[in-house]
Structure 1
Amino acid sequence: MAELKSPTIGWIGTGVMGQSMAGRLLQAEYNVNVFTRTSAKAQELLELGAGWKNSVKSLAEESDVIITMVGYPSDVEEVYFGEDGLLQNAPEGTYIIDMTTSSPELAVKIDQEANKRSIHVLDAPVSGGDIGAKQGTLSIMVGGEESVFHDVRFLFDLLGSQNVLQGPAGSGQFTKMCNQIAIASNMMGVSESLVYAEAAGLDPNTVLESISGGAAGSWSLSNLTPRVIKGDLEPGFYVKHFIKDMKIAIESAEKMELDLPGLKLAKQLYDQISSDGYANSGTQALYKYYK
Structure 2
Amino acid sequence: MTKAFVFAGNDTVGNMVADRLCGAGWQRVGDAGAADAVLTYFTTQTALEDAYFGDNGIVQGARKGTLLIDLSCTTPTFARELNAMACVADLVAVEAPLVVTDVAVPDAFAVRENLGCFVGGEEDCVEAAREVLDLLVAHVTDVGGPGSAQLARAAYSLQATAQLVAAVEADALYHAVRTSSDMGEIAGMRAGAITPAGDALLAAVTDGRFDGTYTVEMLMGELTAALTTADDADLILPQAEAVQRLLELLAIIGGSDKAPSALSLVYREEDACAKEGLDWTRAEQTYGDHDHDHDDEADWDDDFGDAGIMDDDGMTGAYPGFN
User: 1:188-207 maps to which residues of 2 (within 5 A)?
Assistant: 188-199=165-176, 200=178, 201-202=184-185, 206-207=188-189
Q: 20, 23, 26: which one pairs with 2:19?
A: 23
1:251 to 2:251 alignment: no
Distance in 2, Cα, partners of 1:220 & 1:64: 40
Pick aligned residue for 2:109 from 133, 139, 149: 133
Within 1, Cα distance between the matches of 2:185 and 2:151? Answer: 40
For 1:257 and 1:66, locate their aligned partners in 2 and report how far apart those are by CA, in whole Å.
33
- Asked whether the 8 Å contact 1:197–1:203 carries over to 2, the reply is no
Deviations 1:213-248 (A, max 9, x none): xxx1223432x3222222221133322332333233
Matched, 1:96 2:40: no
Residue 13 (str. 1) matches residue 9 (str. 2): yes
Question: Which of 176, 196, 199 is the equivalent residue of 1:221?
Answer: 199
Partner of 2:244, secondary structure, is helix
The one-letter code matched in structure 1 to 2:111 is Q
Distance in 2, Cα, partners of 1:211 & 1:81: 44
Partner of 2:281: none
Measured at CA, do residues 134 and 220 of structure 1 come closer, stay the same or move farther in structure 2, by a change above 3 Å? farther
Corresponding position of 1:49:
none
TM-aligned CA distance change 1:288 to 1:174, over 3 Å: same
Q: Within 2, Cα distance between the matches of 1:134 and 1:164?
A: 20
Matched, 1:68 2:51: no
Distance 1:286 1:169 in 2: 34
Partners in 2 of 1:286 and 1:211 — Cα distance?
Answer: 15
Deviations 1:4-61 (A, max 9, x none): x85222222342333123212222232222xxxxxxxxxxxxxxxxxxx2xxxxx111
Change (3 A) 1:116 1:287: same
Structure 2 residue identity aligned to 1:283: P
Measure, in 1, the Cα distance between the counterparts of 2:20 and 2:48: 23
Separation in structure 1 between the aligned mates of residue 82 and residue 225 of structure 2, nearest angstrom = 17
Q: Secondary structure at the match of 1:237?
A: coil
Paired amino acid for 1:218: P
Shift of 1:132: 4.8
Give the 3 Å change call, closer, same or farther, for CA 289–219 of structure 1 in structure 2: same
Q: Secondary structure at the match of 2:138?
A: strand
Retained in 2: the 8 A contact 1:96–1:120?
yes
- Structure 1 residues 227 and 18, CA, compared in 2 at 3 Å: closer, same or farther? farther
Range with bigger deviation, 7-16 or 119-128: 7-16
Deviation at 1:211, TM superposition (A): 7.7
Aligned length: 257
Provide the C-alpha distance between the structure 1 equivalents of 2:131 and 2:79, rounded to a whole number of angstroms.
22
Paired residues of 1:13 and 1:19 also in contact (CA < 8 A): no
Offset at 1:172?
1.7
CA distance in 2, matches of 1:163, 1:132: 17
3-state SS of 1:154 partner = helix
In structure 1, what is the Cα distance between the partners aligned to 2:10 and 2:237?
A: 33
- Tell me the residue number matched to 1:50: none
Query: In the alignment, which residue of structure 2 is the partner of 1:85?
Result: 57
Residues 82, 285 of structure 1: CA spacing in aligned structure 2 closer, same or farther, 3 A cutoff?
Answer: same
* Cα drift, residue 193 of structure 1: 2.9
Percent of aligned positions that are identical: 22
Q: Hey, what's the Cα distance between the residues in 1 that align with 2:12 and 2:189?
A: 30
Structure 1 residue 251, shift from structure 2 partner? 2.8
**Partner SS state of residue 134, structure 1:** coil
